[in-house]
């Protein structure tokens, strides 16, 4: 059974190569690199944004998971991150269908995990030079899809917990429906926020959708360019 699980998640043992530097070391080097303009001559607001996006990683679980599982090899680290992303995607559903979303702590946890994903998405756009070449573009698209789904579900928790759609008798499916409709920018109009906090929340979610569109286009564009260069 152990061999089957290893083959399923890690593949061949030779794929699971050791990592040269732990995540904490790379974190420090990335901060120093941006500060010293080693890769880009960015200044002003751009440099501040890049520094904030990289420095903020330390307050979220992702970097600690990479550092912990990195000692077991690159594939083991990647699989651990995949399970963490899946956990973040499913946790809002647990909050919603168990009624835990009614407690303030659920909103705090959902907002915290949502903020980590927002910083990660922004990093892929503004600090892409610090990321290594992806092992698989299909894997990256899959992870982005899970991030997209996680954001929609986390916003569902926020809408439900703070009653941002009013005091009508909505169930959890209604909140999930509204959040996904907002994420797809369809906007049927059958449900809408009832106060300024709800309107701001919807605006933030809509902006995140634009960021994901940029990322998807970037990844597909990079893949097409790679194939074109290989053909030449």
pLDDT digits (tens, 9 = 90+) for 183-193: 887 777 778 88
Do residues 165 and 194 lie in contact, with contact meaning Cβ atoms separated by under 8 Å?
yes
Tokens of 162: 């703070």
The pLDDT assigned to 39 comes to 75
Q: How far apart, in Å, are the Cα atoms of 199 and each of 64, 162, 171, 188? A: 34, 12, 20, 15
Measured between alpha carbons, how far is 206 from 183 in angstroms, rounded to an integer? 6
| CA 176 and chain centroid, separation | 18
Q: What does pLDDT average to in each consecutive run of 10 residues of the chain (232 residues)?
A: 64 69 88 84 85 92 92 85 93 93 92 90 78 65 86 92 81 90 80 87 86 68 46 42
Do residues 230 and 207 lie in contact, with contact meaning Cβ atoms separated by under 8 Å?
no
Listed in sequence order, the residues at least 6 apart from 104 whose beta carbon sits closer than 8 Å to its beta carbon are 161
Do residues 52 and 109 lie in contact, with contact meaning Cβ atoms separated by under 8 Å?
no
DSSP state of 22: -
Measured between alpha carbons, how far is 210 from 1 in angstroms, rounded to an integer? 44
Do residues 65 and 57 lie in contact, with contact meaning Cβ atoms separated by under 8 Å?
no
Do residues 102 and 161 lie in contact, with contact meaning Cβ atoms separated by under 8 Å?
yes
pLDDT digits (tens, 9 = 90+) for 23-53: 899 899 889 888 888 777 778 888 888 899 9
The pLDDT assigned to 108 comes to 94
Other residues' Cβ atoms within 10 Å of the Cβ of residue 35: 13
Domain count across the chain: 1
The pLDDT assigned to 226 comes to 46
Measured between alpha carbons, how far is 119 from 124 in angstroms, rounded to an integer? 9
| CA 76 and chain centroid, separation | 19
Task: Of 226, 74, 96, 78, give the one whose Cα is nearest residue 153.
Answer: 96
Do residues 101 and 160 lie in contact, with contact meaning Cβ atoms separated by under 8 Å?
yes
**What HEC string does 159-196 produce?**
HHHCCCCCCCCCCHHHHHHHHHHHHCCCCCCCCCCCCH
Supply the range of the domain harboring residue 11. Answer: 2-231
The pLDDT assigned to 227 comes to 41
């Amino acid at each position: 059974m152990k061999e089957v699980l290893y083959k399923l998640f890690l593949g061949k043992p030779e794929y699971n190569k050791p990592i040269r530097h732990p995540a904490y070391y790379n974190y420090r080097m990335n901060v120093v690199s941006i500060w010293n303009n080693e890769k880009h001559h960015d200044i002003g607001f751009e440099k501040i944004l890049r520094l904030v996006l990289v420095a903020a990683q330390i307050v979220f679980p992702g970097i600690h998971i990479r550092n912990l599982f990195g000692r077991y090899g690159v594939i083991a680290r990647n699989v651990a991150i995949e399970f963490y992303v899946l956990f973040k995607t499913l946790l809002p559903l647990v909050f919603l269908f168990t009624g835990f979303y009614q407690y303030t702590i659920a909103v705090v946890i959902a907002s915290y995990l949502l903020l980590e994903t927002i910083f990660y998405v922004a990093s892929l756009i503004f600090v892409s030079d610090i990321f290594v070449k992806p092992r698989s573009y299909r894997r990256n698209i899959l992870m982005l899809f899970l991030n997209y789904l996680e954001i929609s579900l986390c916003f569902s928790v926020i809408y439900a917990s703070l009653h941002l759609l009013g005091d009508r008798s909505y169930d959890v499916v209604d909140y999930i429906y509204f959040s996904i409709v907002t994420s797809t920018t369809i906007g049927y109009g059958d449900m809408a926020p009832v106060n300024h906090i709800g309107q701001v929340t919807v605006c933030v979610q809509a902006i995140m959708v634009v960021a994901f569109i940029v990322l998807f286009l970037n990844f597909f564009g990079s893949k097409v360019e790679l194939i074109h260069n290989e053909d030449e």
